[in-house]
Structure formats: C-alpha cells, structure tokens
Amino acid sequence: MKSLAQRRRHPLAAVALILLALLITGTLYAVASAANAAQASQSREAYSAQDVNNGQKLFVANCASCHGTSAKGTSAGPSLVGVGAASVDFQVGTGRMPLAQQGPQAQKKPVQFDDAQIRQLAAYVASLGAGPAVPSAAELDTSKGDAAKGGELFRVNCAMCHNAAAAGGALTRGKFAPALAGVSEKHIYEAMVTGPQNMPVFNNSNISPEEKRNLITFLKTIEQQGSPGGADLGSLGPVSEGLFAWVAGLGVIIAFTIWLTSRSS
C-alpha cells in the first residue's frame, strides 16, 4: 500500500493521467469522425460523378455569386461545406434559394429548378463534406408512424414557434415560423435535420429517425382532419377566438340598440 501511494505521488503521474485522457478523447473523436465519414460516403454513393459535375456547373451559374465559387461562403452568403444534401434539397426544393432579395429570412417562393437539377446541386454540395443526407422513403413512411407520440414531440419541441395547430407564428425582428400545412414529408424531415432559418437542428441524438417519422405523421394527421369544430380563425388560439367573441358580441348589442331606438322613434 505504501509503494502504491508513493507511485500516486510521483511527479509524472499527472502527466500520465493527462496523456491517458487525451488518448481516450482522441479515440472517441476518431470513432465519431469515422461514423460521420461513413454516413457522408453513403450519401455520396447515391450520386454519380456526372451528377456532381453537373451540379457544380449549376452552382457556379446560380449560387456562386453569394456562396463563392468554391462554396466556402462570402459576406453575402454562408459556407456550404458540410451542410449536406438535405440542406440543398430543402432550400432549393422549397424555392427559398436562390435568394430573391436580402431580408430577415428567406421566403418560400416558386421553385426555379426541376427535380433532376435539385438532385445535381445536392450531389455537388454533398461532395464537399459530410452532412445530413436526403431522407429515405422508409424514414418518411407515415403509415408506420404514431400520431399520438408525434403530437407529444411536437408540443414539447415545436409548438412554441409553429403554434400548437402548426399554423405558424411571428418571431422577433421580422422573422417567423411558417405554417406546416401543405409541406411535404421530405421537407419537414430535412428542416429538422438541417435547421433552416431560425430553426434549431434536431439531429438523431435529439430526436431519433423513428420519432421524426412519428412527428411527421402527427402533422399529416391534423392536416387531413382539417377543423372539425368549425371555423378555425387562423388557428391562433384563444386570443383570436376571444377577440372574435368580443367583436361579434358587441356588434350584436350595438345592432340591437340601434334597432330599439329606431322602433321607439
């Protein structure tokens, strides 16, 4: 025991502990990097060299003025290295990119490229570095999702910005969370994994692929149900409903008062 205590007090013991910690940290980082590289290579394998080449030409012609010819960003646009194919598919597939004009956030508008061109742009950006891939059909299969569990996830993680009925809502400085009705399953999934505009990134550590599918199932379920209770008043909740009640109630009272005074005269 005495010799063990002496070794613990050895001046090189602290150095040995630091080296051991660095070795463990480096090993874990290497494993994580290998996993990310494998994921990136899998996403790139879905694209041919021709897709990447055509995508680069489209990028230089339509995107390089903001993002730079090497996609490393400029003062007018961020770097796209490592954002992944999913980010391109979402931004270009919803018409937000190419950007029409600078503003608080990119607005959804008519799509300017066809599906093949969007795929080629995604292939080029995916070739620049590891990033989220476009989701597979299995990940988007809402027939296997649980709407009830998805509703719980939505209320905990999304409702504070997108509204409990997914009708969207205002944020600070002219920004907003858009309504989610009519948004495709693929674009909802891509928004979660890439975090466009002001949205946080929900990677698989935060919300698993199965939970993402449940959440999408919930959104599609309430979209199909519509408003069974009658007029939804924009789905803005008790504020709009209370305002409508006051305006309608006061209107009826005023109309009734006018009718009474006209009768008495």
Binding-site residue ranges for heme c: 63, 66-67, 158, 161-162
CA gyration radius, the chain: 27
Residue 223 three-state SS: helix
Q: Which residues are annotated as a binding site?
A: 63, 66-67, 158, 161-162
Total residues belonging to the chain = 265
Q: How many CA atoms lie within 13 A of 245 on its CB side?
A: 6
- d(CA 127, CA 44) in angstroms, rounded, equals 6
Q: In degrees to the nearest 10, what's the CA dihedral of 70, 72, 78, 80? A: 80
Whether the CB-CB separation of 220 and 185 falls below 8 Å is answered with: yes
